Amino acid sequence: MPQWLHTFGDQYLMWNEGPLIWISDVLILLTGFGIVFVLTYFKKWGWLWREWLTTVDHKKIGIMYLIASLLMMFRGGVDALLLRTQLAVPNNHFLDAEHYDQIFTTHGTIMILFMAMPFIFALFNIAVPLQIGARDVAFPYLNAISFWLFFFGALLFNISFVFGGSPDAGWVSYPPLAGPEFDKGPGENFYLLALQISGIGSIGTGINFLATILKMRAPGMTLMRMPLFTWSVVATSLVIIFAFPALTVALALLLLDRIVGTHFFTMTHGGDPMMYINLFWIWGHPEVYIVIMPAFGVFSEVVATFSRKRVFGYTSMVTSLLLISVISFFVWAHHFFTMGAGADVNTFFAVASMAVAIPTGVKIFNWLFTMFRGRIRLELPMLWTIAFVPCFAIGGATGVMLAAAPADYQYHNSYFLIAHFHQVLIGGVVFGMLAGMYYWWPKMFGFKLDDRLGRCAFWFFNIGFYVCFMPQYALGFMGMQRRMYVYPANMGWNTLNLVSTIGAYLMGIGFLFIVAQILYSIRYGERDVTGDIWDGRTLEWSLPSPVPHYNFAVIPTITSRDAWWEMKQTGQTQALRPSADEIAPIHMPKNSGRPFILSACFFVAGFGFVFEWFWLAALGLLGVVICLILRAFEYDDEYHIPPHEVVETESALGRL
């Protein structure tokens, strides 16, 4: 091997770090070649570009978000299994300290930013315009930009594993550990830029969906007639819009510290590392409500549909969602009680944190009362919802324990905390997102996911969850700290750690069952011929599955809450089936390749900043500016679908 290749291989490709990297290289190359081969062999490149990469259709963007988040769940899950394998037995050296640090950092970052966020955006995109009777979101072009910024942000983050080195200062990336003195490599830059790029996309999505819901509802759909999932998106979008800028500022200042040499977070020149922690959690705590509130929305839809009752306490559900979104901005300091800001500060934030339990408790009781005397069908979405209730209640209770500031000095950064937030994030967000995926899957693809494999996945994942995380509460009490990569044999932690690792693998098997279920159902899943496979209550179930690209041939007029259910009860479903002469030309946005190219330019710029190759960064930013200018002078970005085309599509679906 020539010397330059050797140097390049060691410095950028980390070939000196052993088999984990080599295996990943080989797998990435094989997957890459596989994708290129399949696309070329089946002549699908044009199809990929026309139908997916340039699409502004919210339903397709939703599907792309869903695929991306399932892939990221796999990556984050593999990270988790590597961590648990390392911790299975004392004095283990399966991973070294360096790799362990990198893997817990990527696990946390990917699961929150690149798994949970795209998963909620997937459900936003798939459900919201259909639920409010709209033909697309308010800004379809911005929607495509949001997706591609997320996509390239995630790509930038993941590429660090095999090119340049992963970040290793935890998903919170606190300075001074993440500062320029202690963390020289490009890893932290990857973290900062990937989050920055995908963060722009997230703010875009928040603005987009708030505008969509406030401005584009069908006639008659007043705010208090909106489905609860749509309400949860209102609350979530508000929090996104106001929380994400704090993250943007924190990341930008840390990046300046790292590559320009400013001193915002270094003690030596009057900076203050604590300020990063403060800014990070101004975003970070609202962020956990950003990912949980859409799950609450899903549960409200699922519980009502599968209990065949209207949801109990609709108004209190809406009020508690809005209360949660407001309180979420008054609790962030509970992440650093131990910083020592003073008893008055800690008291305020402890009480505010405990207050969150009240609106959340109201919601839990409302779901239970909705089920009470309902005719419950235990389909997959309902199973996950029922599993959520006890899991989230325990997670919430341990959360109140952590919110008690004096006690938190004991729990802080122990495995008790780890068990708590995994319980609310898995038991709340992951269960909720899976319930939502099962619920709207027929709407997206026109077939149901197989029930038997789904039940296997459910039981493996649920039992695995408790086996994995219950021991961690105990380990926390026994003094085990988070982020330790090895522990001695005489601490009394051995059995519990081994049990926990077994649980993690059970959850891994559960995930594999979900993959198997999807692959099996593509071929053999029950086809949805009516468009209303669950006997649903809200407008999306009035449409055929999959939904035609213009959604509604004629925009419906809404007269009550649970509009579709009401129409079915009163035998007025024909009102939603237009006659041929009613159909007018439909005004739709044109596809555009620019969101993809713009985001790719962001990726190039980000990559340049990571390695401080400023010429490359300038080149990327130049591309961004050119895309923006071209967009500003674009006038012809809309078209009309002629009525005869709509008539043809609707007749082919048997709806005329």
Partner 1 sequence: MERGAQTTQHGHHSPTLYIVGYVLSLVLTAISFVLALTHAMSVGPMMWILMILAGLQILVQLFFFMHVTEGDGPPYHSVTLLIGLIFTFAICLMSIWIMTFHYQSY
Q: Which of 145, 240, 246, 576 binds partner 1 (CB under 8 A)?
A: 246
- Tokens representing 557? 């007029």
Q: How far is the CB of 323 from partner 1 (least distance, A)?
A: 12
From the list 206, 341, 230, 231, the residue with the least C-alpha distance to 286 is 206
Interface with partner 1 includes 272 (CB under 8 A)? yes
Residue with tokens 């070649």: 33
DSSP letters of 40-86?
HHTT-HHHIIIIIIT---HHHHHHHHHHHHHHHHHHHHHHHHHHHHH
For residues 40 and 34, what is the distance between their CA atoms, to the nearest angstrom?
A: 10
Which C-beta is closer to partner 1: that of 136 or that of 450?
Answer: 136
Number of residues this chain uses to bind partner 1 (CB under 8 A): 35
Q: How far is the CB of 265 from partner 1 (least distance, A)?
A: 12
**481 CB-near residues (< 8 Å, 6+ apart):** 413, 414, 415
From the list 508, 637, 622, the residue with the least C-alpha distance to 73 is 508
182-206 residues labelled b (16+ CB within 10 A) or e (exposed): ebeebbbbbbbbbbbbbbbbbbbbb
Interface with partner 1 includes 230 (CB under 8 A)? no
From the list 3, 143, 170, 150, the residue with the least C-alpha distance to 60 is 143
3-state helix, strand, coil in the chain (%, to 5): 70, 0, 25
Residue with tokens 């279920």: 517
Interface with partner 1 includes 587 (CB under 8 A)? yes
Q: Which of 30, 214, 407, 625 binds partner 1 (CB under 8 A)?
A: 214
Residue with tokens 């966020």: 117
Beta bridge partner(s), residue 527: 447
Q: What is residue 184's DSSP assignment?
A: -
Q: Which of 71, 341, 470, 619 binds partner 1 (CB under 8 A)?
A: 341
**How would you write 355-407 as a 3-class SS string?**
HCHHHHHHHHHHHHHHHCCCCCCCCHHHHHHHHHHHHHHHHHHHHHHHHCHHH
DSSP letters of 118-130?
HHHHHHHHHHHHH
Region from 433-441, 467-475, 497-505, 582-590 binding partner 1, contact rule CB under 8 A: 582-590
Interface with partner 1 includes 421 (CB under 8 A)? no
Instruction: List phi, psi (to 5°) of 332.
Output: -65, -30
**How would you write 592-654 as a 3-class SS string?**
CCHHHHHHHHHHHHHHHHHCCCHHHHHHHHHHHHHHHHHHHCCCCCEEEECHHHHHHHHHHCC
Instruction: List phi, psi (to 5°) of 527.
Output: -80, 145
**Subset of residues 72 to 131 that bind partner 1, contact rule: CB under 8 A:** none
Q: Which of 71, 78, 177, 275 binds partner 1 (CB under 8 A)?
A: 275
Q: How far from each other are the two terminal CA atoms of the chain, in whole angstroms?
A: 69
Interface with partner 1 includes 343 (CB under 8 A)? yes
CB 424 within 8 A of CB 395: yes
For residues 619 and 77, what is the distance between their CA atoms, to the nearest angstrom?
A: 35
Q: Which of 3, 91, 344, 574 binds partner 1 (CB under 8 A)?
A: 344
Which C-beta is closer to partner 1: that of 114 or that of 336?
Answer: 336
Q: What is residue 173's DSSP assignment?
A: T
Which C-beta is closer to partner 1: that of 251 or that of 456?
Answer: 251
Which C-beta is closer to partner 1: that of 210 or that of 387?
Answer: 210
Q: Which of 35, 67, 267, 326 binds partner 1 (CB under 8 A)?
A: 326
Q: Which of 103, 282, 480, 597 binds partner 1 (CB under 8 A)?
A: 282
Which C-beta is closer to partner 1: that of 56 or that of 194?
Answer: 56
In the shown chain, the binding pattern of residues 152 to 191 toward partner 1, with x for contact by CB under 8 A and - for none, equals: ----------------------------------------
For residues 336 and 405, what is the distance between their CA atoms, to the nearest angstrom?
A: 10
Q: Which of 202, 236, 278, 385 binds partner 1 (CB under 8 A)?
A: 278
Region from 8-16, 173-181, 338-346, 501-509 binding partner 1, contact rule CB under 8 A: 338-346
How remote is the C-alpha of 464 from its chain's centroid? Answer: 22
For residues 557 and 575, what is the distance between their CA atoms, to the nearest angstrom?
A: 9
Interface with partner 1 includes 136 (CB under 8 A)? yes
CB 535 within 8 A of CB 492: no
Region from 66-74, 274-282, 383-391, 460-468 binding partner 1, contact rule CB under 8 A: 274-282
Region from 86-94, 95-103, 337-345, 391-399 binding partner 1, contact rule CB under 8 A: 337-345
Q: What is residue 430's DSSP assignment?
A: I
Interface with partner 1 includes 366 (CB under 8 A)? no
Region from 125-133, 138-146, 164-172, 568-576 binding partner 1, contact rule CB under 8 A: 138-146
Q: How far is the CB of 286 from partner 1 (least distance, A)?
A: 9
Q: How far is the CB of 345 from partner 1 (least distance, A)?
A: 5
User: What is the number of other CB atoms lying within 10 angstroms of the CB of residue 501?
Assistant: 21
Q: What is residue 585's DSSP assignment?
A: P
Region from 291-299, 335-343, 380-388, 510-518 binding partner 1, contact rule CB under 8 A: 335-343
Q: Which of 22, 329, 369, 505 binds partner 1 (CB under 8 A)?
A: 329
Which C-beta is closer to partner 1: that of 58 or that of 75?
Answer: 58
Indicate left, alpha or beta for 639 from its phi (over 0: left) and psi (-120 to 50: alpha): beta
Region from 103-111, 135-143, 442-450, 515-523 binding partner 1, contact rule CB under 8 A: 135-143
Q: How far is the CB of 211 from partner 1 (least distance, A)?
A: 8
Q: What is residue 351's DSSP assignment?
A: H
From the list 412, 444, 423, the residue with the least C-alpha distance to 545 is 444
Region from 11-19, 342-350, 524-532, 555-563 binding partner 1, contact rule CB under 8 A: 342-350
Which C-beta is closer to partner 1: that of 105 or that of 592?
Answer: 592
Which C-beta is closer to partner 1: that of 108 or that of 589?
Answer: 589
Which C-beta is closer to partner 1: that of 339 or that of 378?
Answer: 339
Region from 47-55, 69-77, 139-147, 194-202 binding partner 1, contact rule CB under 8 A: 139-147
Q: Which of 62, 76, 129, 140 binds partner 1 (CB under 8 A)?
A: 140
Which C-beta is closer to partner 1: that of 587 or that of 644?
Answer: 587
Interface with partner 1 includes 215 (CB under 8 A)? yes
Region from 41-49, 137-145, 358-366, 475-483 binding partner 1, contact rule CB under 8 A: 137-145
Which C-beta is closer to partner 1: that of 129 or that of 442?
Answer: 129
Which C-beta is closer to partner 1: that of 141 or that of 150?
Answer: 141
Q: Which of 9, 18, 220, 340 binds partner 1 (CB under 8 A)?
A: 340
Q: How far is the CB of 326 from partner 1 (least distance, A)?
A: 8
**Subset of residues 621 to 650 that bind partner 1, contact rule: CB under 8 A:** 637-638
For residues 148 and 64, what is the distance between their CA atoms, to the nearest angstrom?
A: 10
Which residues of this protein are in contact with partner 1, per CB under 8 A? 135-136, 138-141, 210-211, 214-215, 238, 241-242, 246, 272, 274-275, 278-279, 282, 326, 329-330, 333, 340-345, 587-589, 637-638
